Amino acid sequence: MAALTRAQRSNVLFGYDGTKENDPALRWAVEEARLRGLDLVLCYCWHWPYPSGHADPGVQAVFQRAGENLLRKGARRARDLGAQGKVRTLLRREPACETLVHESDDAELIVVGSHERHRLPDGSTAMELPARTRRPVVAVRDTGGDRGLVVAGVDASAHADATVGFAIEEAALRDCGLRVVHGAWEPGAVPESDLSLFTDKARLYQARAAMLEKTVHPWRRRYPKVRVDVSLLLERPRETLLDAAAHADLLVVGDRGTGGLDPLLLGATSSAMLHHAPCSVAIVPTPRYAARRAA
């Protein structure tokens, strides 16, 4: 495990729901906090089953006590899984997404569970949260074992630097390899000035290879012990990334790519990876991992 060479925020924030299916995500959050030397914060949002105007202090107290008991159980489980720093708990009334965004000011990243293996339901926290927070979000799937590989999916946008930065940190912390993947065939998601590249595959390949080298080189220099492979394919990004993710423990992508138009929505490729990737997925916002941090 390599120590990171930058300052970090104080904790890893985990969206806890107390279910058995949530345990792989808790395990990931504990490991993330341990590797980074940070505290772990478990946040549980309890559900009020009545209309918003309905008041019943007695019933509310019951729900709150149930939430407190659940969080105590979660904290014990986190320590059993090897949590080494402080384990703190937060009990809040839902909605969960808004709560996690609000509580993430001191978080280095946010970890949530992603139980479904094929398509996440509309409105799920794993889908909404990455579009609304300024922190990286890791949506954890239980893949049944370690493969020793982090994959970073990058495009031709300025967001690529942020994605590679987070991915190489994860690879350094976990002492595993990093594969940087670019599916270059995306004519519908590039500025008009780049469209001419798609009439000449050799020129397209050359341009994208230069882009990848410019993005990856500073991070290789900063983390020389991480084995970094670069894969440039003249194929569509979604298919390219899904193929690569089949061999990875973690797929890292940006929150919006070259085709991102609405600042309140995830990019199409990022959304597709959350729905369909067979491994855990990290969605990285741009500002946190700017290119100047790698210099």
Average pLDDT over residues 238-247: 95
* 263: pLDDT strictly greater than 70: no
Domains assigned to the chain:
1-142 (3.40.50.620), 143-295 (3.40.50.12370)
pLDDT for position 290: 43
* 237: pLDDT strictly greater than 90: yes
| Of residues 257 and 214, more confidently modeled | 214
Q: Is the peptide bond before 191 cis (omega within 30 degrees of 0)?
A: no
DSSP letter string, 78-98:
HHHTT--S-EEEEEEESPHHH
Average pLDDT over residues 14-26: 95
* 91: pLDDT strictly greater than 80: yes
Nearest to 118 by CA among 277, 291, 293, 289: 277
* 31: pLDDT strictly greater than 90: yes
Q: To the nearest 10°, report the CA torsion of 88, 43, 273, 288.
A: -60
Task: Grade residue 291 by pLDDT with cuts at 50, 70 and 90.
Answer: very low
pLDDT for position 157: 81
Tokens of 96: 């969960």
* 264: pLDDT strictly greater than 60: no
Burial of 196 (0-12, 13-18, 19+ CB in 10 A): exposed
Q: What is the pTM of this model?
A: 0.90
Task: Grade residue 164 by pLDDT with cuts at 50, 70 and 90.
Answer: very high
Which uninterrupted H or E stretch holds 207?
helix 201-222
- Picking from 4-8, 69-73, 159-163, which range would have the lowest pLDDT averaged per residue? 4-8
Task: Grade residue 283 by pLDDT with cuts at 50, 70 and 90.
Answer: very high
pLDDT for position 123: 67
pLDDT for position 273: 94
